[in-house]
């Protein structure tokens, strides 16, 4: 289990991560989502021991990332952002180096190498120089080095960035496959990526966690609302509010009036549907409905809402 407790990381005056806490259970695939510069990479770098926390701590299986860094590193397979590789090395030599570093003994190396080649689709490129490889293959080599020692924990920082759509699908499949038996933290600024691979997601913005839950939970929490846009002629706001009072959950979020035409946006939980009431009310008061359109919030909107300037205030 990975536990992040009150983690703070500053770069000089810049607060990269500001007091975040969360846990990752064994066997869970956690999506770590946020716009660029939100603090995802910094958090991952602290977990892997590349950076030390300014304050707070990270525990992996009750071991402390500052004192037991070496033990923790042995349990982790890490694919850093931008996938840095030694481009002057052959794929084989590179993987052999990592295998040595990971204390895989000679007798096991052969069989493990074959497994990894099979798993990551490296057949035919093992004896090529890394600088001759396409970006997709480089990414596979990066994944291969991260899993060669069959780690309990896999940390992947933007594993599909810079790949073409086909490669992205492949790599996602690979991650999903690997994640069956491991604890995985995968970071991304792309929502769909997390949606298809992760069990649970944490959305982080400006160094703070703005949402944490399974995808369904987040949809209930944030998407749970429908927006209804209305354009009415001859109507007045006071009277419209009487419609609302039929149901408690309705909110008049925007309102304007121009040339006798009233524009209003209502927000209400998905469970409600006041359209019929509004229509009846309009008929009763001889209003003309020029427009009535419904817009369901998607996870995309949730993400945008949470991570756009000032959006944090909308979150819980």
Partner 1 sequence: MRNNFKIIYRKEVQSFFNSPVAYITLVVFLLINAWFFTSTFFLINESDLRMLFTVAPIVFIFFIPAITMGMIAKEKNSGTLEFITTLPFSDAEIVIAKFLAALTLVATALLFTTVHFITLLIVGNNIDVGALISGYLGLLLVGAAYTAIGTFGSSVTDNQITAFIISFLIIFILFILDKILMFVPGFLSSLLQYLSIDYHLSNISRGVIDSRNLVYLGSIILFFLLMSIRVVEMRKWR
Sole window of 79-87, 186-194, 202-210, 246-254 interacting with partner 1 (rule: CB under 8 A) = 79-87
**Rule CB under 8 A: is residue 12 a binding residue for partner 1?**
yes
Residue closer to partner 1, measured from CB, 52 or 64: 52
Residue closer to partner 1, measured from CB, 51 or 210: 51
Residue closer to partner 1, measured from CB, 10 or 167: 10
**Rule CB under 8 A: is residue 279 a binding residue for partner 1?**
no
Which residue in 30, 33, 58, 85 binds partner 1 (CB under 8 A)?
A: 85
- Closest contact distance (angstroms) between CB of 45 and partner 1 is 7
**Rule CB under 8 A: is residue 173 a binding residue for partner 1?**
no
Which residue in 1, 8, 63, 89 binds partner 1 (CB under 8 A)?
A: 89
**Rule CB under 8 A: is residue 219 a binding residue for partner 1?**
no
Sole window of 85-93, 173-181, 213-221, 266-274 interacting with partner 1 (rule: CB under 8 A) = 85-93
**Rule CB under 8 A: is residue 86 a binding residue for partner 1?**
yes
Which residue in 23, 67, 88, 216 binds partner 1 (CB under 8 A)?
A: 88
**Rule CB under 8 A: is residue 73 a binding residue for partner 1?**
yes
Number of residues that bind partner 1 (CB under 8 A): 30
Token code pair at residue 234: 């001859």
Residue closer to partner 1, measured from CB, 73 or 189: 73
Which residue in 74, 128, 176, 285 binds partner 1 (CB under 8 A)?
A: 74
Listing DSSP states for the chain in one string gives -EEEEEEEEEETTEEEEEEEEEEE-TT-EEEEE--TTSSHHHHHHHHTTSS--SEEEEEETTEETTTSHHHHHHHEEEE-TT----TTSBHHHHHHHHHHHTT--HHHHHHHHHHHHHHHT-TT-TTSBGGGS-HHHHHHHHHHHHHTT--SEEEEESTTTT--HHHHHHHHHHHHHHTTSSEEEEEES-HHHHHHH-SEEEEEETTEEEEEEEHHHHIIIIITEEEEEEEEES--HHHHHHHHTTSTT-EEEEEEEETTEEEEEEEEETT---HHHHHHHHHHTT-EEEEEEEEE--HHHHHHHHHSTTGGGG--
Q: Which of residues 129-158 bind partner 1 (CB under 8 A)?
A: 145
Alpha-carbon separation of residue 307 from 34, 221, 315 (angstroms): 7, 15, 10
**Rule CB under 8 A: is residue 108 a binding residue for partner 1?**
no
**Rule CB under 8 A: is residue 49 a binding residue for partner 1?**
yes
Q: Which residues contact 101 (CB under 8 A, 6 or more apart)?
A: none
Binding residues for partner 1, per CB under 8 A? 11-12, 45, 48-52, 70, 73-74, 76, 78, 80-82, 84-89, 93, 97-98, 100-103, 145
């Amino acid at each position: 289990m990975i536990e992040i407790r009150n983690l703070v990381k500053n770069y000089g005056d810049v607060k990269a991560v500001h007091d975040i806490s969360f846990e990752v259970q064994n066997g869970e695939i956690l999506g770590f989502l946020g716009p660029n510069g939100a603090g995802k990479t910094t958090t991952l770098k602290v977990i892997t021991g590349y950076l030390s926390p300014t304050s707070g701590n990270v525990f992996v299986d009750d071991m402390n990332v500052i004192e037991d860094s070496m033990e923790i590193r042995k349990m982790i397979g890490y694919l850093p952002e931008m996938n840095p590789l030694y481009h002057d090395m052959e794929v084989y030599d590179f993987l052999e180096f990592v295998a040595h570093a990971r204390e895989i003994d000679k007798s096991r190396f052969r069989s493990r190498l074959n497994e990894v080649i099979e798993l990551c689709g490296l057949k035919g490129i093992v004896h090529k120089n890394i600088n001759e490889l396409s970006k997709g293959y480089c990414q596979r080599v990066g994944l291969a080095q991260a899993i060669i020692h069959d780690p309990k924990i896999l940390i992947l920082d933007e594993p599909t960035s810079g790949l073409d759509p086909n490669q992205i699908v492949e790599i996602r499949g690979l991650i999903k496959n690997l994640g069956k038996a491991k604890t995985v933290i995968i970071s991304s600024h792309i929502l769909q990526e997390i949606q298809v691979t992760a069990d649970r997601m944490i959305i982080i913005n400006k160094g703070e966690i703005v949402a944490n839950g399974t995808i369904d939970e987040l949809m209930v929490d944030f998407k749970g609302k429908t927006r209804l846009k209305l354009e009415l002629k001859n109507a007045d706001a006071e009277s419209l509010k009487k419609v609302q009072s039929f149901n408690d959950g309705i909110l008049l979020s925007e309102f304007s009036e121009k040339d006798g035409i009233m524009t209003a946006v209502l927000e209400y939980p998905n469970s409600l549907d006041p359209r019929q009431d509004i229509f009846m009310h309009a008929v009763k008061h001889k209003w003309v409905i020029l427009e009535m359109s419904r817009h369901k919030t998607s996870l995309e909107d949730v993400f945008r809402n949470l991570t756009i300037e000032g959006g944090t205030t909308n979150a819980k």
